[in-house]
Structure 1
Amino acid sequence: MDLNFDQSVVFAILAGTLVLFVWGRWRYDLVALAALVLVFVAGLVPAEEVFLGFGHPAVVTVAAVLVLSRGLLNAGVVDVLSRHLGRVGTRPVAQVATLTGIVILCSGFMNNVGALALLMPVAIWMSRQSGRSPSLLLMPLAFGSLLGGLITLIGTPPNIIIAMYRAETGLPAFGMFDFALVGAVTAAIGLVFIALIGWRLTPRRDGQSAPEELFEIEDYISEVIVPEEARLVGQTIYHLTSAVEKESEATVVGLIRGERHIAAPSWYEVIQAGDILMVEAAPEDLKSLIDEQGLSLAECKGDCKATLGSDDIRLMEAVITSDSPLPGKTAASMHLRGNFGVNLLAIARRGRRLERRLGQTEFVVGDILLLQGSDESLQSMLKTFKCLPLAERGLRIGQPRKVALALAIFVAAMVLSALNVLPVQIAFTAAAVLMIVVDLVPLGDIYESIDWPVIVLLGAMFPLGHALESTGGAQLIAEQLLLLSAHLSPMATLAVIMGGTMLLSNVVNNAAAAVLMAPIAITLARGMEVSVDPLLMSVAVGASCAFLTPVGHQSNALVMAPGGYRFGDYWRLGLPLSFLVIITAIPFIYYFWPMRPV
């Protein structure tokens, strides 16, 4: 196979881009932008077309759908579906089937990561109530969120991308429910497999042995008495905290003064002789505090856990999500007490409480934080750092429920686009604007609800995909596949396209996989002189089914830490599920979207 210079350059840029995607040293949007600059410098894309990808209808639609997803979450649509999950019982088959079924349904119509993030705390809570590890529920939940994306046009960005590529061939773009002909059946069969067999293939990580609290607070709270001769008398709690942080780590989470109990006392509360300070600290830090400050240890005579709470002050467990700014930062650097009036009492990771010092622990996605503070301060902190409270602490954050209004706006957008009254990008942009106007999405949340790295990735990859096509690179790859297809049946050819896209999607972002494979599929269809639809559908399904690695999709990464999974755990369930998707989807694609000669 002979390569001309332009093809060699574009293949070299693509190869370097894929290597950097897999390496993960730099975020994928930065890698895509660098590739975009390189194709311009190489003269493969003219200056006036370099940034046209950011105005592509697929990019606009993805952004609008993300805003709509935030509106549906804020309205409590997922809450309505999940609030009765406690009645499911403790049998793993019932729990897996119910949770995975709900996330499939939600992911078909909203951002799959958002649906997963809201149901993940419910799964963790159900695991703890059942005395089992969350690892049995979380991987099925993540894979279910990917299967749900197969059902509709807006279920996942690859579907939107594939629909727009079909429009570029001169055919109408795929409609809202065109994907359901294949996707709904595939998702349903995947659900049955996961519920009956698949969850048994997930690793058994050590979990709670009984349905008790992950954090037994009274085991970590001590009472210390401030004697008259102590140096702290007349000083503030802030002064004590500042002095302690230099040598050890301890948090004053309550104060008892006579008959008065003060939960989460102010930093500017002046310490008096006879005060009893409730301190959260490891044993070695507690000893250091007592020795250095001249305090004495008192037994906790009452219910420490009850003393910590009041009508206004309470405990909350919250999960760090994938889009939180907390991962990589330490507890000490965030100054939660000073900035939000919230105490961080403990951190749990992979189902177990961390015993290391809190201030030196870097947060990771999926960490469960035990927080203490007022309702107002806790809600402010959760919103700022994009954390989700566990189910028993109150699943929702934010606004009163406006489920009917949110659903009416969303359904109207779907109907208008499905009936071709409005182009999909116009219908969903208008719906997003309407959700903002009726305050389902506050002004401050508009840009926060959009996954900007994905938007930048798409905007940068579209010109790169066009460069692959314009230089003849896609034609070259298609010619090799055409030679292969001469020895294969049509269904086997579709399986090769779907399987290749799956493998690519497991190492790069699924949207990028769709952008790169769609031009090849179109060129191959022209070479075979058949309809482009079955090949594009194969790409769409393959791009959405990244089940083999935690880096293939954000959903997979989100459950890695709380499930206690390792990189190599995913293929145990993901490999048979991938084969099942291919075996299921290919016949339905061939039936509903036949390879007709053109």
Structure 2
Amino acid sequence: MVAVLHGGRLAVAMPSDQTLIFLIFAAVFGLLIHGRVRYDLVAFAALVVATALGLVPVDGMFSGFAHPAVAIIALVLIVSRGLMNSGAVELLAAHLIDSDRPVPLHIAAMATVGAALSAVINNVAALSLLMPLDMEAARKAKRAAGQTLMPLSFATILGGMVTLIGTPPNIVIAGYRQDALGAPFGMLDFVPVGLAVSVAGVAFVALVGWRLLPRREGVGVFVSEAAQGRYTAELRVGEKAADGETMVSELYPLADELDLNILGLVRSGRRRPGFAAREPIRPGDFIVVEGDPKAIETFMGQAALDFVGSENHKGGVASESLTLAEAIVPEGARIAGRTARSLRLLYGHSVTLLGVARNGQRFHDRVRLLTIRPGDVLLLLGTPERIAAATSWLGVLPLEGRKTAVVQRSKAGFALGIFGLAILLAVAGVAPLLLALAGCVVAYAALGLVGGREVYEAVEWKVIVLLASLIPLADAFERSGGAELIAGSIVGFTGGWPAWSTLAVLMVVTMTLSDFLNNVATTLIAAPIGVGLAQATGTNPDAFLMGVAVAASCAFLTPIGHKNNTIILGPGGYRFGDYWRMGLPLELLVLAVALPVILVVWPL
């Protein structure tokens, strides 16, 4: 507010709506960059303040939650979870690891698959799936994981630019175009620019980018066996796995690929001598293995093995919503000094003790008959609800973030077919994308690929609240003339320059914002500025909107600009300043490739 003298009296002039909205966004930017307060809380608090000041109408305060972009992002996350639960993505990823490949070829293979996956599923999900494979390859090749994790992260970000559903900025831009110009961008409208940028970017990270990263000895080389948590587990042989002729040794190639050790065979309750390599496997036998949880789960699925207590779950290993969870045994736990069978863990709680880890020690006793000690780490299998009840009853402590979903590999074909049909219907214009994705989610739920609990767990609610809070704020920003003011400033700065230079400046500004802010927030601010620039210069608004979509996804300079960059920070042994080494030339490359392609496909 400003004090002025009016008629001999001191009066107070309230700041304009434009000033207030700029102050609110300045506070939002400052808090988001500071990073100490959750970004969804920052955005929601800003929405409450703007509504209290009259910048956002009360009846429109929660309009963002009804916006199609919010629903599409939530549905994409659920579909991504279903595809991963079906093993459809794993079918492709399983062939990537080859520790003998030179680093550039390994990066090229992983980056290409990562970019392709990110075009159709959430790019965070794509990285989450491929990162363990990349780290496993680094461990086998005895090289630093930091050489390859950043190229993989950047590739998954690049791949999201290719389709409408690949990344939130594309979804937000499509929704904004519908509001501003009367029709959204289609599913494949992003392909020409996004594909060109992705191909150039993947080539860069594979051939040049990884060489720009610092090489630090002993940092992010590979995870030790103890840190990985290698468990001794017993997997049951069922009718599907035993044909009377398959020998234990024939499972060795799959075990080697997964870095899993086959320790022996149990028949009729007794361990066979040695490793039983020449023994044919029979129904009712148990294969004794040693490995990390994901390797055990994958081996169990691909070798068609089962587990003790599978009869308690309809469908056995392919049952819905089964999870492997890890828990440590403290002093005084109910299970300490006892066995799983004596506690009737399976029959009382429908939870199987699948494996035990004890400082790398191998066991000769049956897992269910093993006397558990304080300090042991247990690998429990069951539904999330059953595991939660069992861990509380046993007195053990679940390890945070150490859960592995049991993949329903027999449903991979159905999952791919349903998803492909949904995308085809959307591209052909038979059904709106929102309806097609919603139908896909319903089908996945009916097939058991996502349970009722998983539907809600798959959605990243912080992003949903952020987006739903910023949409009304962005509308207020545009109504107040804020976007028009910034657009006018850019036009004034580039006065007398060619029209494409104005687009280039907008993309540089958007890229810079995206390196420090959430890409959804960046898109919502930059989109109206882009339309304002198009109106001020009398050019095609689609070119500016496409430029914003590409630039908002280019968060390569910092670990905070995109969640994928944050995820790799620890495992890769990176420092804050490492990102710009590869990120800066990559952003310049994106600008150099995207700008001419936009001018050709969406001429000014």
Q: Same fold (TM over 0.5)?
A: yes
What is residue 546 of structure 1 aligned with on the other side? Answer: 555
| Distance apart, 1:332 and its partner CA | 7.2
After superposition, the Cα gap between the structure-2 partners of 1:594 and 1:99, relative to the gap in structure 1 and judged at 3 Å, is same
SS of 2:458's partner is coil
TM-score, normalised to structure 2, is: 0.72
Letter aligned with residue 204 of structure 1:
R
Do the aligned partners of 1:315 and 1:373 also contact (CA within 8 Å) in 2?
Answer: no
Unaligned runs of 5+ in 1: 220-259, 263-301, 304-309, 320-328, 348-369, 390-395
- Counterpart Cα distance in 2 of 1:62 and 1:127: 33
Letter aligned with residue 13 of structure 1:
I
1:373-396 Cα offsets, whole Å, 9 max, x none, are 35669996999955466xxxxxx7
RMSD of aligned alpha carbons: 3.6
Do the aligned partners of 2:88 and 2:412 also contact (CA within 8 Å) in 1?
Answer: yes
What is residue 491 of structure 1 aligned with on the other side? Answer: 500
SS of 2:215's partner is coil
- Counterpart Cα distance in 2 of 1:447 and 1:218: 29
What is residue 587 of structure 2 aligned with on the other side? Answer: 578
| Distance apart, 1:216 and its partner CA | 9.5
- Counterpart Cα distance in 2 of 1:346 and 1:462: 52
Do the aligned partners of 1:131 and 1:207 also contact (CA within 8 Å) in 2?
Answer: no
What is residue 59 of structure 2 aligned with on the other side? Answer: 48
Of residues 173, 189, 193, the one that matches 1:162 is: 173
| Distance apart, 1:345 and its partner CA | 5.9
Letter aligned with residue 445 of structure 1:
E
What is residue 58 of structure 1 aligned with on the other side? Answer: 69
- Counterpart Cα distance in 2 of 1:437 and 1:594: 45
| Distance apart, 1:203 and its partner CA | 2.3
After superposition, the Cα gap between the structure-2 partners of 1:261 and 1:152, relative to the gap in structure 1 and judged at 3 Å, is same
Do the aligned partners of 2:139 and 2:221 also contact (CA within 8 Å) in 1?
Answer: yes
1:280-308 Cα offsets, whole Å, 9 max, x none, are xxxxxxxxxxxxxxxxxxxxxx99xxxxx
1:2-55 Cα offsets, whole Å, 9 max, x none, are x96111100000000000000111110000000000110110011100000011
Letter aligned with residue 373 of structure 1:
L
| Distance apart, 1:536 and its partner CA | 0.4
What is residue 537 of structure 1 aligned with on the other side? Answer: 546
Of residues 465, 468, 481, the one that matches 1:472 is: 481
- Counterpart Cα distance in 2 of 1:590 and 1:106: 27
- Counterpart Cα distance in 1 of 2:156 and 2:129: 11
Of residues 455, 470, 477, the one that matches 1:446 is: 455
- Counterpart Cα distance in 2 of 1:39 and 1:153: 31
Letter aligned with residue 209 of structure 2:
G
SS of 1:114's partner is helix
After superposition, the Cα gap between the structure-2 partners of 1:384 and 1:174, relative to the gap in structure 1 and judged at 3 Å, is farther
After superposition, the Cα gap between the structure-2 partners of 1:541 and 1:388, relative to the gap in structure 1 and judged at 3 Å, is farther
SS of 2:18's partner is helix
Determine whether 1:563 maps to 2:572. yes
After superposition, the Cα gap between the structure-2 partners of 1:465 and 1:388, relative to the gap in structure 1 and judged at 3 Å, is same
1:521-570 Cα offsets, whole Å, 9 max, x none, are 11221111221101001100011110011111110011111101111111
Unaligned runs of 5+ in 2: 1-13, 231-268, 276-285, 296-326, 337-344, 346-350, 361-375, 392-397
Do the aligned partners of 2:99 and 2:141 also contact (CA within 8 Å) in 1?
Answer: no
After superposition, the Cα gap between the structure-2 partners of 1:114 and 1:371, relative to the gap in structure 1 and judged at 3 Å, is farther
Letter aligned with residue 316 of structure 1:
D
Do the aligned partners of 2:487 and 2:533 also contact (CA within 8 Å) in 1?
Answer: yes
After superposition, the Cα gap between the structure-2 partners of 1:534 and 1:561, relative to the gap in structure 1 and judged at 3 Å, is same
- Counterpart Cα distance in 2 of 1:459 and 1:583: 33
SS of 1:110's partner is coil
| Distance apart, 1:94 and its partner CA | 1.0
Letter aligned with residue 537 of structure 1:
M
Do the aligned partners of 1:72 and 1:406 also contact (CA within 8 Å) in 2?
Answer: yes
- Counterpart Cα distance in 2 of 1:380 and 1:200: 45
What is residue 180 of structure 1 aligned with on the other side? Answer: 191
After superposition, the Cα gap between the structure-2 partners of 1:411 and 1:475, relative to the gap in structure 1 and judged at 3 Å, is same
After superposition, the Cα gap between the structure-2 partners of 1:131 and 1:317, relative to the gap in structure 1 and judged at 3 Å, is farther
Determine whether 1:101 maps to 2:112. yes
After superposition, the Cα gap between the structure-2 partners of 1:46 and 1:375, relative to the gap in structure 1 and judged at 3 Å, is closer
Do the aligned partners of 2:151 and 2:210 also contact (CA within 8 Å) in 1?
Answer: yes
- Counterpart Cα distance in 1 of 2:229 and 2:42: 49
- What percent identity do the matched residue pairs reach? 39
- Counterpart Cα distance in 1 of 2:58 and 2:88: 44
After superposition, the Cα gap between the structure-2 partners of 1:261 and 1:490, relative to the gap in structure 1 and judged at 3 Å, is farther
SS of 1:373's partner is strand
After superposition, the Cα gap between the structure-2 partners of 1:212 and 1:45, relative to the gap in structure 1 and judged at 3 Å, is closer
The 5 Å alignment of 1:294-313 reads 311=287
Do the aligned partners of 1:346 and 1:371 also contact (CA within 8 Å) in 2?
Answer: no
What is residue 316 of structure 2 aligned with on the other side? Answer: none
| Distance apart, 1:153 and its partner CA | 0.2
- Counterpart Cα distance in 2 of 1:567 and 1:41: 38
The 5 Å alignment of 1:578-597 reads 578-595=587-604
SS of 2:72's partner is helix
The 5 Å alignment of 1:223-234 reads none
What is residue 135 of structure 2 aligned with on the other side? Answer: 124
What is residue 510 of structure 2 aligned with on the other side? Answer: 501
Letter aligned with residue 292 of structure 2:
M
After superposition, the Cα gap between the structure-2 partners of 1:388 and 1:179, relative to the gap in structure 1 and judged at 3 Å, is farther
SS of 1:562's partner is coil
What is residue 373 of structure 1 aligned with on the other side? Answer: 379
TM-score, normalised to structure 1, is: 0.72
Do the aligned partners of 1:107 and 1:149 also contact (CA within 8 Å) in 2?
Answer: yes
The 5 Å alignment of 1:180-199 reads 180-199=191-210
After superposition, the Cα gap between the structure-2 partners of 1:212 and 1:60, relative to the gap in structure 1 and judged at 3 Å, is closer
- Counterpart Cα distance in 1 of 2:468 and 2:586: 31
Letter aligned with residue 64 of structure 1:
L
Determine whether 1:143 maps to 2:154. yes
- Counterpart Cα distance in 1 of 2:411 and 2:378: 29
Letter aligned with residue 144 of structure 1:
A
What is residue 216 of structure 2 aligned with on the other side? Answer: 205
What is residue 259 of structure 2 aligned with on the other side? Answer: none
